[in-house]
Structure 1
Amino acid sequence: MDMSSHDSMSSDPMNMESMPMVFTTSHHTPLYGSGWTPSTGGGYAGTCIFLVFLAILLRLLFAAKSVLEQRWAIAARNRRYVRVQGRTTEAGRIDQDPDVKTGSLITVNGVEENVKVVQARSQSTPFRLSVDVPRAVLTTLIAAVAYLLMLAVMSYNVGYFLSVLLGVFLGELAVGRYAQNDDHVH
């Protein structure tokens, strides 16, 4: 390999030689592009604080998704009850019969008799625009924030790495109990 080809490779910004492959403590490490390169200690601290908040946001999004998934599951279960027209409820029969002194308001099925429980044909819930679009948007936001945090960690800057870990810790401490059913362990 001659020197001219070597010089052209070293001027290439995507050259592997210019990317650090070990952790660094430099306060001038670019984040997401050359336009975001801290030039002072305060700028570096601000970048680290931004990463802490970004990691907290990721944990908040996980918790929000978990809470919404629980609400959507409850709403789907509640939609399984169908009102049957023309059938009198147990409470209605007690009110109409003058000889009945006491009565039970709950039937053998555990619900009022004018309600029929519809069994689901499959384990998955049907497509609902009001559920699936917000779910897709939230999942896309989670992926975007997670990838931004991954890129920060891949800069191999110790301060960025520790900031992301601190943000994950604080976010989990604040809202981790709400995301207990979430499969993501990022």
Structure 2
Amino acid sequence: MASSMPMPMVFTTSHHTPLYGNGWTPATGGGYAGTCIFLVFLAIALRLVFAVKAVCEQRWAIAARRRRFVLVQGRTTEAGRIDQDPDAKTGALITVNGVEENVKVVQARDAFAPFRLSIDVPRAIMTTIIAAIAYLLMLAIMTMNVGYFLSVLLGVFLGELAVGRYARNDENFH
């Protein structure tokens, strides 16, 4: 029968608490400090990924609003209006595609955006990374080691201090 350490039900200050498995059990004070520093950086990384995701979401929303246009039949193009204006000396209007398109930009409604591979795959990857890091931090806290717990809190504090202004509050933010 394999020997296993029972999970403590109270906080402990042991410097020999395993993290993520028996293979990661600090044997020295320096090893314990290194483990705590790792947890600080892991918590900072979680805040960074939250911020990156929020910035990406904002950019994707802006791009989606800019993409919305409808063709307008019978509408005079800006180039046509310039040609007909006797006071206009010269005028040229070229779009990204190299031609003036007869379109009208409209505001996006508050409906859900359609599936876009270029947006939904990175969003899913970032959400998966967030979940993985959050679960690893949760497992560290569940060891009930005070040093690990405080390290995670310090990392959350430093990460929030550094990039908290970029992350938006939503139901996944903790």
TM (norm. structure 2) is 0.83
Structure showing greater radius of gyration is 1
Aligned match of 2:27: 39
Does 1:143 pair with 2:143? no
Aligned length: 164
**Per-residue deviation, 1:117:** 3.6
Other structure's SS at 1:179 match: coil
Query: Residue 69 of structure 1: which of 57, 61, 64 is its match?
Result: 57
One-letter identity of the residue aligned with 1:149: L
Cα-to-partner distance string for 1:47-71 (whole Å, 9 max, x where unaligned): 0000000000000000001001001
Gaps of 5+ in 1: 1-7, 102-111
One-letter identity of the residue aligned with 1:178: Y
Does 1:185 pair with 2:168? no
The CA RMSD measured in Å over matched residues stands at 2.7
- Cα distance in 1 for partners of 2:40, 2:51 equals 17
Aligned match of 1:56: 44
Query: Residue 126 of structure 1: which of 98, 103, 114 is its match?
Result: 114
Cα-to-partner distance string for 1:70-127 (whole Å, 9 max, x where unaligned): 01111111111245477433464144321579xxxxxxxxxx9932245768711111
One-letter identity of the residue aligned with 2:4: P
- Cα distance in 2 for partners of 1:122, 1:70 equals 14
TM (norm. structure 1) is 0.78
CA contact (8 A) 2:50 2:173 kept: no
Does 1:168 pair with 2:133? no
CA contact (8 A) 1:88 1:113 kept: no
Gaps of 5+ in 2: 90-99
Aligned match of 1:20: 8
**Per-residue deviation, 1:170:** 0.2
Report the identity percentage.
Answer: 80
